[in-house]
Amino acid sequence: MMGRMQPTYEQNYTILYSDFIEDIRNGVVSEVTIEGEKVKGKLINGEPFITYNPDDTHLIDDLIQYGVKIKVATPEKQSMLTQIFISWAPMLLLIAVWVYFFRKQQGGAGGGGGQMGMGKSRAKLLEEDQIKVGFSDVAGVEEAKEDVMEIVDFLKDPSKYEFVGGKIPHGVLLVGPPGTGKTLLARAIAGEANVPFFSISGSDFVEMFVGVGASRVRDMFEQAKKRAPCIIFIDEIDAVGRQRGGAGTGGGGNDEREQTLNQLLVEMDGFSGNEGIIVIAATNRSDVLDKALLRPGRFDREVHVGLPDIKGREQILKVHIQKVPQAEDVSIRDLARGTPGFSGAELANLVNEGALLAARNNKRIVTMDDLDRARDKLLMGAEKRSMVMRKEDLLMTAYHEAGHAIVGRHVPEHDPVYKVSIMPRGGALGITMFLPERDTYSASKDKLESQISGLFGGRIAEALIYGKNKVTTGASNDIERATQLARNMVTRWGLSDKLGPMDYGDSEGGYMGAQAKPMSEQMAQVIDDEVRSVIDKNYQRAEEILKDNIEVLHNMAQALMDWETIDKHQIERLLQGEKIDPPEEEPEDIEIKTDSKQETSQDDDDIPVLDKEQDLNKKEV
């Protein structure tokens, strides 16, 4: 049960300060004792009271005036030690904080440092039963899997190699473009060998305090020794393994990074003898790594994990598409053929985008149409259905794209046309998509000239139908790409009869830049004339093709107006001279309503869609 609490002494005798002042002036207060803010006293009748002074400066004057006895309580004296401590407290606090961080630094750099020291390894450990990835989950890199198969055998049965005096590589360097599966391959090695897997990034070693990174390397190898045989995987090793010294290598003067690299070199091939520990590192910049790191005895083997070919893409797609319900019309081979230059990560993203499109349309399974649309979105950008155009502008775009398709179909060695659309995508008002029948790793002179002719097909179609004065800026990107192809043929690839097999270009593909090779004005004029000759020859060839197929041009443009997008089967019928009937419900005429300016390029990405490794505008064939 709860009851009322008894009031304390102060609560019984505490009075209001205003009453206290009134009592003084009435002469009923006999004496007071002042203890700081607290005022104790007695009345003339002997009754005690307590009140609190609200910083009244006239209180003493009133007490003296009315003859009240005044007592002041003596304050307790603080000891000398207490006074010193209070005065030095801020400085002592700063010293304590400095000592705390200094001890953490010393503990980290010394390698002992306790469990919470800065020098403890940040590597994440996956035990054998936590690694659920094997070689069956890694597709499209068969050569790379063969190169690392020995490591799996050694981790499973080291005596097999020791019996014949063989030594397994201490380190394996996985080199390749981003998204090709280097990390997945490293985990698959550990999964197949059934050994622990330490994973860390190169940037995790580097700290602002000198010596911390080296301590983390030591601690990581100490932990690995306790669990040997095991695998240490260092992702993006170029963050710590760059060449030492020299301003041009990105390493000059970075003592912390260099000490970390030195410690890594010692641990991989020093006196410690880290038997049973295999270091696997991944990078896409092997050219910047220190030579001491790449020598035999450290990273003995360099495994290239490149972009998959058509067979590899098919295998990768099979792995990822098993995770989604698919319709019977899904063709993995067509998808693989239509994704040249895609990495494994991009193919996984393609399947995921297809599943998202299917779910958005309330489908229970993923169809080939969903995957095609997902691929088109990744290659060319999302459709701009909100960008509404006039019928006249759509018709000009239709003639432009039809010109690309017809010329590309009639020139030799050109990739087959796959799809033509006047639906705006990304920065383009229309697209003409060509897909190679197989992976190609080089291009002949005929193929390059055919691409130049195909690029001019859109501009020529506009000129033939609307007149030269009505040609728009839509072919600006086509002209740029065709000119770059012609210039590379003349200056870099030795495909000019007049100049022969000599390199007149620079690293950027031109010949008049800051790093251009020295040449006379006469030679520069010869180069310009040769480039002009290549352009004129292929422009005239494209013009003759379109003049000979003017009816096909009209039919294809009309089909694009009716359907907006036509596929390869419809295109083939049109090229044979047939007409394509419009759909049952014709689309309504559309009025212009766009925020883009008239200077917008009409099809920045329309043709040709090439393998990313074959982009002749950027990379050498």
Active site residues: 401
Question: How do strand 299-304 and strand 417-421 relate by DSSP bridges?
Answer: unpaired
Check if the beta carbon of residue 220 is closer than 8 Å to that of residue 233. Answer: no
Coil, strand or helix at 270: coil
d(CA 8, CA 10): 6
d(CA 430, CA 484): 22
d(CA 346, CA 477): 26
CA atoms 475, 477, 480, 485: torsion sign: negative
Check if the beta carbon of residue 364 is closer than 8 Å to that of residue 325. Answer: yes
Q: What are the φ and ψ backbone dihedral angles of 239, each rounded to 5 degrees? A: -65, -25
Tokens of 129: 């039963």
User: Would you give the distance in Å from CA 483 to the centre of its chain?
Assistant: 32
CA atoms 107, 110, 115, 121: torsion sign: positive
Coil, strand or helix at 169: coil
Coil, strand or helix at 280: strand
CB-neighbour burial class of residue 575 (10 A; exposed 0-12, middle 13-18, buried 19+):
middle
DSSP secondary structure string for all residues of 495-508: --TTT-S-----TT
Rg of the Cα trace of the chain?
41
Residue 611 CB partners (closer than 8 Å, separation 6+)? 340, 341, 436, 439, 440
d(CA 525, CA 514): 18
Question: How do strand 171-175 and strand 124-126 relate by DSSP bridges?
Answer: unpaired
Instruction: Give the ranges where 66-198 is alpha helix by DSSP (H).
Output: 80-110, 142-156, 159-162, 182-193
Tokens of 387: 């960008």
d(CA 572, CA 557): 14
Secondary structure of the chain: what % helix, strand, coil (to 5)? 50, 10, 40
Q: Cα dist. 155→230, 277, 382 in Å?
A: 8, 9, 48
Strand spans (E) along 366-480:
417-421, 431-434
d(CA 356, CA 173): 36
